Structures are given as C-alpha cells and as structure tokens.
Chains A and B, each alone.
Chain A
C-alpha cells in the first residue's frame, strides 16, 4: 500500500509540477487570471452592485447561485449528521434527576414515567461532570459579546471582511462555547433541537426565497435589481440590500447547522447527555 501510494503521489505531483512551467509568473498583473474577468469585477463591481467589498459582491451577487448551493452544502451536512447519528436510546431503569432551583435529587424507578415539568430538572448520568465556576462565569460574560460581534460581522459583510458564513460560524461558536462550559443539555435548553432544525431550514428558505421573489418580480433568479419594486431603497444600493438579505439567511443556516453538527457528534446523537 505504502509503495503504491508513493508511486501515485509521485506521478500526480510530477504531472502537476511539470505543468506549472506554463503558468505565468506569480503575481504577474498581465496573467489571464488578472486580465480576463477580474478587471470587470474590480472596476464595475462597486457601480453594479453597490458593495465595496468585492469579494462579497462576487460571492453574493455575481456568483450568488454558487453561494446558495454553498449554503445548501452546509445544510446538507447538518441534516446528514442527524440522519446518520441521531438516536433515541431506551430509558434505563432508575434515573436520577436534580431539581435545579433547590438542588434536591430525586430517583425515578418507572422507565416510562415522565417529569411533570422537565425544564426545572436535569438528568444525572454517568457522563456527569460538576461545573467549574470560573469557566462558567467567564463564558457567561463572553457569550453576549461574541454574539453581538457575530451579528456585526453578518450585517457589515458587504462593506468589510465578513459575511453570513463568518458571522454564522461565530454565532454558532458562542452556543458551542456554552455547551462546552456548561453542558449540552443546558445549551439545548436555551435553543432546542427543533428550533435549530427550523432555523437551518429558515436560513436557506430566506436565501432561495429572495431569489424567487426576484423571479416573481419578473427578473431572473437572484436578480436583486428587481427588489426595488418592494423595497424602498435607492436603486444603487438595492443589490447591496439583497445581498444583506441573503447573508442573513446564510447566517441563520450556518449557525444552526454548526450547532447541530456539534451536538450530534459530541453526544453521538444521544442529546440527553452532555460532555
């Protein structure tokens, strides 16, 4: 196997390196990469889309179709994790719950019996780890700022580095931090699996919905220019508005999916026990 791998690697690498001789020198402004399409993007991008951040302009407008499917890829991964991992394990006999307000521990024999108000109780299982006060407090303080920053990144995507993906990931990270510092259950108590699922769907629906709205308004799919009919914005910035809209959708989807993937992988699909 190793020898075979070596041979394959050498052949591929040799081919690739051999071909580099025809490349234009690195950073040469006259290379076709810089002369064919990019001048148009750079010089016209701002006028055509109204987004100074050209990367966002190309990402969300010129190649918005790509980006939609990029979001779909994330979405797909999330659903795939649910499909593969999510399991409902049998309730074991004899579970112990701690009543969070009082700290009273109670023991339940009957596997089918449910608690009348489960939000106040938390299951005590073998994976149980006692909390560390410092970590809890620090993350409790940090998380709001992280989330504010995430929103900023999303909202400001078309002016400065950033956008839906980045913002969504940061927001998801804040929730994952919560899950790490407290435990999975308490993070799921704040944002339930159902909510995550619906949010992930909502995000992509927002994106494609905007596109279809443009279609209904007589344009092509994702032709934001048409949105002038329903949005009271000056035509120069209407496309930027459309981009903002799709970025928000992306933000939702990515955030939700990040948390979904984390929760499923971290708990092997058994959400009721944390790390």
Chain B
C-alpha cells in the first residue's frame, strides 16, 4: 500500500531541534530550561507513538524535504524498524533528561545550557537516522550526530576530555568520511538510487568482488557500531557526563551504528543477495570475535563506566551477529536486542552515575558494601545486570533466546557456543559487583551511614527503567510485531 504523506516524521525529528533556541534564550533560568527539555521530550515521544498504530498495520509515513541528487531525495520514511528504534530512543530521552537534571545539578557541572542544547540536537539526529528513507539521509543524520555529540563528550573541557574527543572524532568522522562516503557513492554509481527497499538495490548490478568489499567497508565504516578494531572510541567517550554515556553511548549513538548496519543488510543488499554471497558467516565471525573480546576486556576493568562500555561493545555485536546470520529468528532476536539491551544498559549507567553523584566513587574496588547505603540503586543495577546477562525474568533473556534459536536455524553451532560463553562471561563480571555491594562488609567509612540514596531525580529514572526491563519479559509484544514486520 502507498505510504501516508505527512509532516509528522519531520516534526518528530525537528521538535528537539526547534526547542534549541528556547533553551539558549532561557539559559539563565535552569528550571524553565529543563521544563522546555521535558516538554520537547514528551511531544517527541507523543508524535512517535501517534504514528505507532498505523505502522503496526503495515502503513508507512513519508516526508520528502528536497531532492539534491537525481534519485536521492532527503526523505523521511517511518517503517517498522525505524519505529522500533525511535520508540526506544525517544522514550528513554524523557527519563534521561530527568536523570541529567539530578546529575548535572548534583555535581553542579558548568555549561549546562550547552549540555542540554547539544543533547537535544543529538536526539534529533538519532530520530532522523531512525526515520531515514535512504542511505544518503541516514548518512546526513549520522554525521550530524557525530558532530553533535562531540561537545558532549568533551564537556569537561580539560586535557583528558580533549584527548578523548580527538580520538572520538578520529574514529567516527574518519571512518564515515573515509569509508562510508566512497562506498555510498559507489553504490549510487552502480544502482542510481540509495533507497532502502526490501529487495535491496544492488542485486544484479554490481560485480561480486565489489559487493563483498563494499559490505565489509560498510560494516567497519559505521564505526559507531564499535566492531573491533574500530571500538576504542567508546571507552574513550566515557569521560563524558554519565547521562551522555547512558543515553548516547549505550542507546542512541551506538545503536545508530548498529541500526545503519541493519539498514545496509535489509535495505541496500537485501537478505537474498547476501545469502547468495555467503558472506554472512564471515561477518558473523567478526562479530563473534568482538563479542568475546569485549566481554573478556570488560572483566579486567576496574572503572565501572569503562566496564559497562566494553560490555556495550560486546552486546552491540550480538545485534550485528543476529542480523548477518540472515535466519529470521536470529534477525528478530538481533532487532529486539536493540530495545532490550537499551533498557538494561541504560539502567546500569544510571546506577553508575547515581553512585558518582551520591558518593563520588567510580572504581569497583571502592564499592564494597555500597549496597547497604544505596539499596535501590544497587537493586536496579542487579536487574539491569540480569537483563544483560540474559536471565529470566528480564527482557534480555528474550532477545538472547531468539538469537540462540537463530544460530541453530542457520545451523551455526560454534556461534551458539560463543553466545553462551559470553553470557557466562557477562555473569562473571556483573555478579561479583552486586555481591560485593550487598554481602561484603564495607571498608569505606562513607558507607557506614545508613540508607542514603542519590537525589530523587536520579533514582526515579533508574528504578523505572529497571522495572520496564522486567516488564518487557512479560509483554514484549509490540517490539516483536515491529521486528517481525521489519524482517518481512
């Protein structure tokens, strides 16, 4: 059926961009500023949800801004896959802004206006990526996101953040300009279009060797997916304030990278073409290496946020692995994992930030017995950890279950083993934290004090996200439908 032409996609993207002038002008009055951020977040989420029913019925929304190149418009299309991602991102933005109020004020950071402005910009570009109708539009928002996150990563403006910012840009911009842009142009040169279509645009037009090289150029080119060896920007980006790490470097930015790869697989190449090329397993192998290596490195980390970063790296490759396996179940699992991992990991980051605010601790070695002081936070942390490990009753279990089934469906026994091993590794590096937090006598006098949590603005969001990641175990239905529609 033909798509619905409407402004709603553009609005959904632009809302948080339009609010920027207001944020700047109300920079002197923090309360008004945060109120505006909230309003924008709610409106954004509302707009996206308003499009959900039609999308669930297989409808699509379409908006064309202009046509810079013949056959390549700047175009927004809302389909199942994009909807899934947009839902997660915009929903979590609301809680993140609540959280960042608590966090930023708690540590009274400088340049808060700048922080909120670029946060809004980053969200706009994330939704833009989610709703892109073709590779060019996706690239456009992808780059915008890279630039919008730079001032957030380097928020502290000291030497450390300067160096990390440099690394961040080198990896992100370097790959996108150096790899993705030429690859995209070659696609356009052969196909004459860049639209995402279910059948793919490249089949039968491009010599096979070019196809194969292009595929890997894309896989590595979208460095936001943090596939090794292009992963080291993510740990570096952890110098950012925790809300940034939470939303952007556990959900928005990294998922944008994965999302782009999913789009390449489903939209540009098409499942049939890829399965003819027989490069799925190789890509899956690359992903598997990243999964294991990520988990292993994570085990050796002492700084909580870096540990989470490496765990993110390995979790992202779950999604890639699931998608390149090309078996329906695996792809479903991978796509759902976008959502499940998002809720789980953001909870963990929120907890890390809450600990920062309340006690100023960032190293695991200092967190013995912290559970007594901050039971809610650590409880949420436990749930998040379970979800990441993939233990029922948490959302993570479902996606991992489907991934496992998918590996069997594609009869890739070794990959199944990889998945299980890495879950085991996850358990190995998460459970001790929780254990030490609750059952080890505190060494630090700081924790003698009885129950004393971080400010409410921090605690509420992380509780809610934790509860949601449980709730998703019982009611994953909407995401399921979206994922199924996305792969059919």
Direct contact of A and B (CB under 8 A): no
Q: Which residues of B contact A (CB under 8 A)?
A: none
